[in-house]
Amino acid sequence: MAKKRSNFQNKVELYAVRALLGAIGALPLKTSMNFGKKVGVFFAKRFPKLQKTAKRNLEIAFPEISEAERERIALGTFESLGRHLGFVSHFKKFQLEDIRNLVEVVGKAENFDPADATGRGILFFTGHFGSWEVFNLLPPAFGYGMNILVRRIDNPLVEGFVDKMRTRFGSVTLDKTKSARKMFRVLENGELLGILADLNAQEREGVFVDFFGVPASTTTSIAKLALATNAIVLPAFAVWEEEKQKYVVYLEPPIEYQKTENINEDIKKLTQDLTKVVEKYVRKYPEQWLWIHKRWNTRPKGEKTLY
């Protein structure tokens, strides 16, 4: 059982989060993002255990690259998180027009618009990649409602603060532990639902699929929802493009799937197919993925830990 949090602790953490975001957000956006990168490097030095996890993950995923290259990518992860922090620090200031101007969207006409025209629910999936929080603001900027599946922060005061930023343009956040029926209704009603699909799942919540050639326990929620509601499964990734000096959201073609008499195999196949898309982006932009998370922590029965 989780340790009970004191109100004093909750308040201190809230003030710390507000102070950090306020200080970074007081700067012009570009300066905030550059300063955020420096904050990321500072945290990399302060939390060696996270660096150790990142390097171990990189050994698993890229055994062929040098240690120096792994260190470069690991540091890039912290810089990417810091840049993202700088961007998020301006969420309270952004207007809808700002989002349309600051974020480029690729694949809307080719992939999203035809999916939207079907009237079916659209299940966006992404990962902890680049600026994943932008998906709370992006659909409303183009006139669409958005539902986002989230894990509530343990500190209710910080959760309220963050949720207010996420929902300021009308997006709705759904608690992943309490919203199963709501998720089904959202998709059955032809709405948009966003889910993160790249973290380690507990064995009871996931299925083992290939990720960088290694079995990785991956959430089955996306596949189960899609197969039950006939939703369109649309990959979406927000990555930082250095040459353009902006985040670019890539909307990929929908992932095709079929229902058969073997529902377990259907779930596994769809989960594997969406994981391949995640891997594609991690390989292309390795510095922008969350290597500090123990992605291969859950192991098949009888297999020893990788960490």
180 has pLDDT over 90: no
Tell me the whole-structure pTM to 2 decimals.
0.94
Domain ranges of the chain: 7-288
**Please, what's the b/e burial string for 248-268 (b: 16 or more CB within 10 A of its CB; e: otherwise)?**
bbbbbebbebeeeeeeeebbb
1 has pLDDT over 60: no
The pLDDT of residue 122: 98
What is the per-residue pLDDT across 131-162, written as a single tens digit (0 to 9) for each? 999 999 999 999 999 999 999 999 999 999 99
236 has pLDDT over 90: yes
2 has pLDDT over 70: no
What is the per-residue pLDDT across 249-306, written as a single tens digit (0 to 9) for each? 999 999 999 999 999 999 999 999 999 999 999 999 999 999 999 999 999 999 999 9
Mean of all residue pLDDT scores within the chain: 96
What is the per-residue pLDDT across 192-220, written as a single tens digit (0 to 9) for each? 999 999 999 998 999 999 999 999 999 99
Tokens found for residue 11: 């308040």
238: confidence class by pLDDT, cuts 50, 70, 90: very high
The pLDDT of residue 50: 96
| Integer angstrom CA distances of residue 33 from 28, 92, 100, 237 | 9, 15, 18, 19
CB neighbours of residue 113 within 10 Å = 11
Closest of 223, 228, 186, 193 to residue 205, by C-alpha? 223
